[in-house]
């Protein structure tokens, strides 16, 4: 069996979430319970439970008696989400400056150096992967699972809109330079500087997104 101790509803929630995030279910499309049940080879009951779980994360919109649709984010809502994520990431950086252990600070330093090499080699794929690790360090480093889970949830929701962030020329070097400011503040234990630096960093990422978005495809 492929049963990992999880219940059907939980696996369904995870699979449906993946399907939404990878574009299988487009924003605004109806999530028919019968269709989902047939698609995943189960009955409607666990599907309904999974939908409720997803609705709580904001990934889908559940309208009583009118079914579920994949949450469609307007431009305004996207702005709100980006601002929220920026603030949470900045908060993670702030708390990390206050409460990272020496080992965690060392890991941050090492990763920052390694990413410098990736910039020199202009290895976009590896840098993108390392960038995820970079931010993950702050999620764990803030030692506050409540905040980090909120941030992770927002990052997941925004993932589809962040695909091309390192494509523009010079982005890598710029990102790395911004990271350096954040790392410096955190290692120095300067909470407010860490907050400001991370906020500036993620705001610039958001700007990069806006640029890509406002250019006709």
Partner DNA sequence: CGGGGAAATCCTGCATGCAATTTTGCTAAA
Partner DNA sequence: TTTAGCAAAATTGCATGCAGGATTTCCCCG
> Does residue 78 bind its own copies (CB under 8 A)?
no
- The three-point CA angle 100-123-163 to 5° equals 75
213 binds, among its own copies, DNA, none (CB under 5 to 8 A by kind): none
Q: How far is CA 81 from CA 74, 88, 103, 178, 203, in A?
A: 10, 10, 32, 21, 12
Nearby residues of 15 by Cβ (< 8 Å), 6 or more positions away: 40
- 192 scored as a contact of its own copies (CB under 8 A): yes
131 vs 140: CA distance, rounded Å: 15
Which stretches of the chain bind DNA, using CB under 7 A?
A: 7-9, 30-34, 42-46, 48-49, 62, 64-68
Least spacing, CB of residue 133 vs its own copies, in Å: 23
Q: By C-beta, is 3 or 76 nearer to DNA?
A: 3
Rounded to 10 deg, the angle between the 191-214 and 75-99 helix axes is 150
Torsion sign over Cα 35, 162, 58, 10:
positive
What does 67 interact with, of DNA, its own copies, none (CB < 5 to 8 A by kind)? DNA
Give the x-and-dash track for 145-164 against its own copies (CB under 8 A): xxx--x---x----------
CB 42 within 8 A of CB 79: no
Of residues 10 through 69, those in contact with its own copies by CB under 8 A are 10, 45, 48-49, 52-53, 55-58, 64-65
Whether the CB-CB separation of 199 and 206 falls below 8 Å is answered with no
101 binds, among its own copies, DNA, none (CB under 5 to 8 A by kind): none
Q: Is 182 in the site for its own copies (CB under 8 A)?
A: no
32 contact, one of DNA, its own copies, none, CB 5-8 Å limit per kind: DNA
What tokens appear for 158 in the block?
A: 């925004």
Which of 52/156 has CB closer to its own copies?
52
């Amino acid at each position: 069996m492929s049963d990992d101790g999880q219940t059907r509803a939980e696996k369904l929630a995870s699979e449906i979430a993946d399907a939404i995030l990878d574009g299988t279910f487009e924003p605004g499309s109806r999530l028919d319970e019968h269709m989902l049940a047939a698609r995943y080879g189960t009955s409607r009951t666990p599907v309904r439970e999974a939908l409720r779980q997803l609705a709580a994360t904001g990934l889908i919109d559940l309208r009583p008696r009118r079914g579920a649709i994949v949450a469609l984010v307007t431009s305004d809502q996207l702005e709100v989400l980006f601002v929220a994520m920026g603030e949470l990431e900045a908060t993670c950086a702030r708390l990390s400056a206050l409460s990272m252990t020496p080992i965690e600070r060392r890991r941050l330093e090492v990763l920052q150096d390694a990413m410098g090499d990736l910039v020199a080699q202009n290895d976009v794929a590896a840098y993108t992967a390392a960038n995820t690790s970079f931010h993950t360090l702050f999620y764990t480093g803030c030692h506050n699972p409540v905040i980090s889970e909120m941030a992770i949830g927002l990052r997941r929701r925004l993932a589809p809109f962040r695909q091309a962030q390192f494509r523009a020329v010079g982005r890598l070097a710029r990102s790395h330079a911004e990271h350096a400011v954040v790392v410096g503040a955190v290692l120095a234990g300067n909470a407010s500087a860490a907050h400001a630096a991370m906020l500036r960093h993620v705001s610039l990422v958001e700007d990069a997104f806006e640029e890509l978005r406002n250019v006709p495809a």
